[in-house]
A and B are shown apart, each in its own frame.
Chain A
Amino acid sequence: MDYDALVVGSGIGGMESALKLGDMGYKVLVVEKEASIGGKMILLSKVFPTLDCASCISTPKMAATIHHPNIKVLTYAEVEQIERDPSGRFHATIRKNPRFVDEDACTGCQQCEMACTVAVPDQFNSDLVARRAAYIAFPQAVPKKAVVDRPGTSPCTFTCPAGIKAHGYVSLTRSGEYEKAFNLILETTPLVGSLGRACFAPCEEECSRGSLEGPVPIRRIKRFIADTHYASGRPLGVQPQADQGKRIAIVGSGPAGLTAAWQLRLMGYGVKVFEAASVPGGALALTIPAYRLPGDVVAQDVQNLRDIGVEIEVGHRVDDLEALHASGFDAVLVATGTPRSGRLGVAGEDLQGVAPALRFLEDTKLGRAGSLGGKHVVVVGGGNVAIDAARSARRLGATVEQVCLEQRREMPAFDWEIDEAIAEGVVLHDGWGVASVLGEGGVAGIALKRCTQVFDEAGRFSPAYDETVRRELSCDAVIVAIGMGPDTEAFGGTVRLQRNRTVATDKQTLQSSVPYIFACGDVVTGATMITQAVGSGRRAAYMIDRYLSGEDFEADAFDARMPKVEPADVLRRQKSHSRKDPLLSGKETLAEPRDFHELEAPLTEDEAHYSAGRCLDCGVCSECHECVNTCPADAIHLDMRPETIEAEVGTVIVSTGFKLFPADLKPQYGYGRFKNVITGMQMDRLLAPTRPYNKVLRPGDGRIPDRIAYVMCTGSRDETVGNPLCSKICCMYSIKQNQLIMGNLPTADVTVFTIDVRTAGKGYDEFYVQSKAMGVNFIKGRISEIRELQNGNLIVRYESIEDGGGAREEEFDLVVLAVGVQPNLDTRRLFAGDELSHDAYYYVEETDEDLSPGETSIRGVFVAGAASGAKDIPESILHAGAAVAQAAAYIEETRVSV
């Protein structure tokens, strides 16, 4: 058996139970779902009727619990299920949620919290103020260790094939930390400006805001970050690690190769990139038209690599990979992409005037293409490259028609690209295949045949034609954009190639048939998108490092992301979402485009702020890494994951406490609508030494309240909300607060509206009498309505029972709703097999409240404190004692019988 007892919950009842059992010599496991033990008591200002400081009483118990030699405490953990076996022992399954913080290393310095860029309501201050995603629960937390609130990965970040922390740079932008945002993206790739323009932004497809008014323009924010950095002239904020003494050759300088080079150089490897073309950048520099991605932006990105010491040699085609290795490189990475254009395979294809799209785009981007003014060009293809070629031809002065096999809805090009092309005057002929290119010596036209099917039933490319339906288009030139392939014949004698000439690699490790040769990007996968190539380059770098370090690849560990937070769950966190319209696209398309100036306008700083402010913080933690970078103890580990712990225990004590009544279920009191209507717990926080404000202030405007009203029995003794029970503690905590208010705000008037005041307990009634003597005004009468005035004051309408009856109205600065308690329904799902009985009010039922308090319907399971019904602190402690006595007897009984 692992533990003699399992205590579920660590409020005052749970701590008392654990301490008593521990003192008896029993081994106890305490499981607490919050990041600190202490329950609600530690959050109170003082306790009644002694007005002792709640923290001063709680903290020694909390410290004793966590340091007790017989007690093991699991915080931030939840009991998923408990099952009793025939011997009378229990098997508990516990989920230990990841704190993402090494508890041994964390010193509780709070620097992570100070640096964190995500603000959320602070549940430990009853939502009166914000906390951060990285936080310490409260100043007296035990253990005083940080925790990162991270229920999963934000959809934008989860979706990014490159592994860029999209949510992270958006939250940094929101905080005005543009340089840090730039550095965060540099953790993944140096191609910040290029991706800020040419990425197809799958992150935006997944953005939770998309189901409201439209997604956050995440890509354009990245462009803003890049432009801001490059305009600042600041040096790079990253440095390579110490020299590893090993060199790596990278063949090809597209997004995959450059990202791999970046990553490997940062790891401390010597890196040299060989590029066959005259400029580095691959598709970024050669084929993506300047109106989408200007050449100088690519050059800035490439300079990042040079700045950290990556050598780039252009005009150097590599055909012999073994020779590279023999020349002193410890590993070779092939990242040559798919530079070959597909061929039509029809008559006339080799006529003068027929050009492959990639060559045409490269000539255009490098300024080698002449004017097409007065020319008529037909572009063949339905993908993005075809669209790029068509729009580029328009800019060179041609009239352009585009022909593709697919129907418009089937075209692989992005819809918005097709729309923009059409807006620029490209005439689209969808559903046509090429029968032949017409002409003698040079292109004169193109013959088309009707395409009846592009894909077969299995989704494979399998075009079929109706040869009887034909048409011809006259033209001066044909640009063919019907696919791209790798240029790998020279490597075939060294590494194994696939039938489609891509390099064969292990899918996870990207290692080829030759151990020191790796391959990544499109040369492995065939033509994809830039971001996918970036992700592949990152993976290759990770694997090469593992290979050269002589370590296992541990491929599964690379880029292991937490599950995606579902957008529907994100939206449910709020009762309402105010409308925040997305910005317009920022693109102005012209019917007669005549130059290659960048089409999309940059975001202004205000626009970037506004757009980042629309982010819903889906994953809560944005993975901006500010906590990681700031923590002096290196204690933040975002790679932590949930753990499941199985424990066999002798007995179980359920001490899960109570919930507070949600005050907005009494709409006539205006909670949640009127800014200066608060709950009793919120007032306790305002009165506590660790209060959220500097004094007792009203939340509506920060003013010190003069006239304060209390509304007793809010959500208790109230059939209309399904709770006829008296909550027992509300009268006394209100009277306690009244006295504290009189001490804090000596000039304040306090009025308590009550059905009657219940003060059963030692010294309780004297405490009540003392309050009246201090000037608290108790009015017997129920509130029918509260209204808010323009200045935030509140009109309370009530029935004055003792003063002749009738409705009265009175104005107050602040209204406190003395909310009652409710059962914690978490207990209903705790046990498998045996049923833990609950009473008619859903509290844990005691089989005999009078004679065996604490005993439940399951033998060996006991209930301590307010989980069985409303109790104040002394009662909870007493009740825990009763439960413990029986639990100890049960442990001994089963010990003997087993």
Chain B
Amino acid sequence: MATANRDVREIIREGPLRRHEILKVLEDGPRTVPEIAQAIGAPTHEAMYWVMDMRKYGWVTELPDPDDDGLFSYRALERKGA
């Protein structure tokens, strides 16, 4: 996790771009943020921004309970529109 930080604005701006990659990863089932980050080759904290953006705007939702490490898994939702 000790990676160089990019400006938050820059990370967030990439959200719409990364959404497609993340949804592709979630086609195989729910994943935690670290798992998503690994799958798309991005730092975990950046993936956190994108997943939470997708959660806010209805692209993904979390499973009810976290795993033993305290991590929630997120699954894709059917969503109309952009």
Contact = CB atoms under 8 A, between A and B. Distances in A.
B45 A701 contact: yes
**A128, A177, A576, A694: which has the most chain B beta carbons within 10 Å?**
A694
Contacts of B29: none
Nearest to A675: B45
Nearest to B12: A130
Interface string A781-801: 000000011111000000000
A702 B50 CA distance: 12
A510 to B, nearest CB: 37
Contacts of B70: 703-706
B52 to A, nearest CB: 5
A617 interface: yes
Contacts of A119: 12-13, 15-16, 53
Contacts of B52: 128-130, 692-693, 702
Interface string B40-78: 000011001101110111100010001001111000000
A692 B13 CA distance: 17
A577 B33 CA distance: 24
* Residue with the highest number of chain B CB atoms closer than 10 Å, among A578, A615, A673: A578
Interface string A325-346: 0000000000000000000000
Contacts of A694: 55, 62, 72
Given A702-B72, A706-B70, A177 B5 contact: no
Contact of A114 (B9, B17, B32, B57): B57
Nearest to A612: B17
Contact of B9 (A180, A573, A792): A573
A736 to B, nearest CB: 23
Interface in B3-32: 5-10, 12-17, 19-20, 32
Nearest to A580: B10
A609 B14 CA distance: 10
Contacts of B19: 175-176
Contact of A117 (B9, B69, B82): B82
A702 B32 contact: yes
Interface string A577-613: 1100000000000000000000000000000010011
A112 to B, nearest CB: 11
A575 interface: yes
Contact of A701 (B14, B33, B55): B33
A695 B48 CA distance: 13
A217 to B, nearest CB: 16
A39 interface: no
Given A609-B17, A701-B1, A630 B81 contact: yes
Contacts of A128: 52
B7 A574 contact: yes
Nearest to A116: B82
B56 A692 contact: yes
Given A117-B16, A175-B82, A790 B1 contact: yes
A699 interface: yes
A790 B2 CA distance: 5
Contacts of B33: 701-702
B17 A121 contact: no
A114 B12 CA distance: 16
A700 B44 contact: yes
A121 B8 contact: yes
B23 to A, nearest CB: 10
B44 A701 contact: yes
A577 B82 contact: no
Contacts of A132: 57
Instruction: Tell me whether chain B's interface is mostly helix, strand or loop, or mixed.
Output: helix
A672 interface: yes
Contacts of B82: 114-117, 175, 177, 180, 626
A577 B16 contact: no
A14 B14 CA distance: 38
Contacts of B6: 576, 578
Given A114-B82, A626-B82, A672 B5 contact: yes
Contacts of A114: 57-58, 81-82
A497 to B, nearest CB: 50
A174 B17 contact: yes
A184 to B, nearest CB: 12
Contacts of A347: none
Interface in A671-720: 672-673, 675, 692-695, 697, 699-706
A617 B13 contact: yes
Contacts of A129: 49, 52-53, 56
B81 A115 contact: yes
B9 A120 contact: yes
A577 B10 contact: yes
Contacts of B17: 174-175, 609, 612-613
Most buried by B among A177, A694, A701: A701
Contacts of B10: 574, 577-578
Contact of A174 (B16, B55, B57): B16
A140 to B, nearest CB: 16
Contacts of B66: 704
Given A694-B62, A701-B44, A791-B1, A175 B16 contact: yes
Contacts of A697: 72
Given A120-B9, A576-B6, A700 B14 contact: no
Nearest to A128: B52
A145 to B, nearest CB: 19
A702 B48 contact: yes
A704 B81 CA distance: 32
Contact of A675 (B5, B9, B15, B53): B5
Given A115-B81, A129-B53, A120 B5 contact: no
Contacts of B7: 574-578
A695 B9 contact: no
Given A617-B13, A704-B66, A699 B45 contact: yes
A705 B71 CA distance: 10
A568 B76 CA distance: 39
B15 A788 contact: no
18 contacts: A117-B82, A118-B13, A118-B16, A120-B13, A129-B52, A129-B56, A130-B56, A175-B17, A175-B19, A578-B10, A626-B82, A672-B5, A700-B48, A702-B44, A702-B48, A704-B66, A704-B70, A789-B2
For the complex of A and B, the 9 pairs showing the least CB-CB separation, nearest first, are A704-B70, A702-B33, A792-B1, A675-B45, A574-B7, A119-B15, A130-B53, A175-B16, A130-B12
Interface of B: 1-2, 5-10, 12-17, 19-20, 32-34, 37, 44-45, 48-49, 51-53, 55-58, 62, 66, 69-72, 81-82
